[in-house]
Amino acid sequence: MIGAIITSMRPRQWTKNFFVFAGLLFTLDQRHSIADFARVAAAFALFCVLSGSVYLLNDILDAERDRKHPLKSSRPVAAGKLSSGSAWVASLILLAGGLAGSFLLNTAFGIAAAGYVALQIAYCFALKHVVILDVMVVATGFVLRAIAGAAVIEVVISPWLLMCTILLALFLGLAKRRAELVRLESNAGSHRVSLERYTVPFLDQLMAITTASTVISYALYTFFSKTGETHPYMMATLPFVIYGIFRYLLLIHENAGADSPEMLVVTDKPLLLDILLWALACALIVKLG
């Protein structure tokens, strides 16, 4: 049963929680102690616990729909490997432990983490069925991760960076919806109510808007934000962002796993290398000035 619970917590999706490191990455020019690095690592672990508790809840609520999905039917609750009762107990224990640990780590971090959990629970019960709003809620979850990561080490995260985060998250969310629509075809509505209102041309149009907005926002961030003014070489990281987004668009149109962006990021070697090089370049530019 422990194995089924861990599987239901979806460890492969914990890559999303790396957004908590954004605040640390872009303030490496400040004096950070070893304790700061440890706090951010703890924040990452706590978000893995909290997001895992939400995934368990989501699997309980979506069990019937998941059984009709070609991939999600293998999830432990949908497949009958984990009972709904056991999943409820595990979800509540993880939720209580994760929130308690969050407030013990840092009060501001705890508030951000609680806000994330509240938003995700609302998403599981209702908001995921509301067209457009479903993607916006998912994007907001990424922003809350970034805010929480900055709060735990008590640094101010740039509004520019938050804007880039939410636009990038919107892009990924829209790509995921498009991939689901293409994969499920006429059965899309029976799996996710909001998919009944989406069409591929509509999603392509929204993705074109968010693609352009993300690139422009990041470019402006590297030029005009406080970080950009302090570290003018930040503009040199723009090609990595452009390549990464264009590469992801290519994979989307090849239907190469865009419905699981967390896996696509780590399985597509050119995309993974691009992300690692971007992070390394940012770290060196900020740290070395």
Domain count, the chain: 2
pLDDT of residue 263: 73
User: Exposed, middle or buried by CB within 10 Å (0-12, 13-18, 19+), for 242?
Assistant: middle
d(CA 262, CA 257): 9
| One domain, residues 102 and 12 | yes
Closest by CA position to 172, among listed 88, 281, 258: 258
pLDDT of residue 3: 82
| One domain, residues 74 and 150 | yes
What is the 3 state secondary structure string of 38-54? HHHHHHHHHHHHHHHHH
pLDDT of residue 225: 85
Q: Which of 25-29, 40-44, 263-267 has the highest mean pLDDT?
A: 40-44
- Domain extent for 279: 158-289
| One domain, residues 223 and 259 | yes
pLDDT per residue as tens digits for the range 81-102? 888 888 899 999 999 999 999 9
Does this model's pTM top 0.85? My answer is yes
| One domain, residues 152 and 162 | no
How large a percentage of the chain has pLDDT more than 70? 92
- Pick the last residue of a domain from 103, 129, 157: 157
DSSP 72: G
| One domain, residues 75 and 150 | yes
We report the CATH number of the domain holding residue 125 as 1.10.357.140
pLDDT of residue 196: 80
Q: Which amino acid is at 87?
A: A
pLDDT per residue as tens digits for the range 114-167? 999 999 999 988 888 889 999 999 999 999 999 999 999 988 888 888 899 999
| One domain, residues 144 and 1 | yes
Across the chain, what does the average pLDDT equal?
A: 88
pLDDT of residue 92: 94
- Pick the last residue of a domain from 111, 142, 157: 157
DSSP 3-state of 32: coil
Contacts of 118 (CB under 8 A, 6+ apart): none
- Pick the last residue of a domain from 141, 157, 173: 157
DSSP 11: G
| One domain, residues 5 and 60 | yes
**8 A C-beta contact, residue 155 and residue 27:** yes
pLDDT per residue as tens digits for the range 189-220? 556 677 788 888 999 999 999 999 999 999 99
**8 A C-beta contact, residue 211 and residue 148:** no
pLDDT per residue as tens digits for the range 67-86? 777 677 777 887 778 888 88
Does residue 31 register a pLDDT over 90?
A: no
pLDDT of residue 79: 77
d(CA 104, CA 253): 45
pLDDT per residue as tens digits for the range 238-266? 999 999 999 998 988 886 665 666 677 77
| One domain, residues 104 and 216 | no
**8 A C-beta contact, residue 76 and residue 58:** no
